[in-house]
Amino acid sequence: MNKQQSGKAQQNNKTKPEWQGPAIAAACIMFGFAFFGYLLPPIMLWLGEYSLVAAAVFAVLFVLAFFGVFWLRARSQK
């Protein structure tokens, strides 16, 4: 096997482009938060029956978690 053939064999081992992994991870995170955001109002109403402060804290934690996940992901990729 010459150098050209071995180079082609190494290129064939890569099935995904480099950008595809992070894009899939970001899409999964976005869809997960979109689904949870869809459920957020009923959860807040349920919590609001017990405590308005608990409902507000829950909403703030949701927003912080959204940005926190992307911050942690960016930090781990450095």
pLDDT tens, position by position, 28-45: 888 999 999 999 999 999
Q: Are 70 and 29 in contact (CB under 8 A)?
A: yes
Within-domain flag for 18 = no
Most confident of 1-5, 15-19, 59-63: 59-63
Within-domain flag for 13 = no
Question: Based on the structure, what is the number of domains in the chain?
Answer: 1
Confidence of residue 12 (pLDDT cuts 50, 70, 90): low
- Mean local confidence (pLDDT), 15-22: 74
Share of the chain above pLDDT 70, in %: 78
Within-domain flag for 46 = yes
Within-domain flag for 19 = no
Within-domain flag for 2 = no
Within-domain flag for 15 = no
Residues 52, 46: Cα–Cα separation, whole Å: 10
Within-domain flag for 12 = no
21 vs 50: which has the higher pLDDT:
50
Among residues 44, 63, 64, 62, the alpha carbon closest in space to that of 54 is found at: 44
Within-domain flag for 14 = no
